[in-house]
Structure 1
């Protein structure tokens, strides 16, 4: 069971934490939401919890919880720039369907 960050995502996280002046990494979780049933939740981590599962890629840490990992196992978080749009992209092998806007998914 694992979560990974692409090199581009790890660099973006490291640069953003440096600009923030604090932070250990990012937290990736899922919540019930959207038209397909689940949505990704992404936030910065300033303190570890006893229930955190921690993975490291390219020197950056990604945190999650056991419940979310059941839906996220094998996911690679990438950071892409396409024209004027840039942001995180979730390469989740567990996804069976996604909504048209890309904000929610089902497994």
Structure 2
């Protein structure tokens, strides 16, 4: 039998609208019988990625242009040797279980 622990935390934030739903209204939820502001996990993760305490150069980057960025970086490092880099990158990504769509996005 495995042990399962679940935490429910209430955290105080300054009076601001940390994130909104698709209609622009503040996200909220009823918790403890009261309406409370709700912060999505995506909002918290973005805040962690952008914090100054995260080591420089190790911050997360989200992109749909992975193939282009990798090709450019490899051409900068290896010059003319990197002529067939897009094909090599696609092969390496496929080995890691990632697929590149026809438009060059992963």
With the shorter chain as reference, the TM-score category is under 0.3
Higher-Rg structure is 2
Structure with the bigger RCO (C-alpha within 8 Å, sep 6+) is 1
Higher strand proportion: 1
- TM-score normalised by structure 1 residue count: 0.22
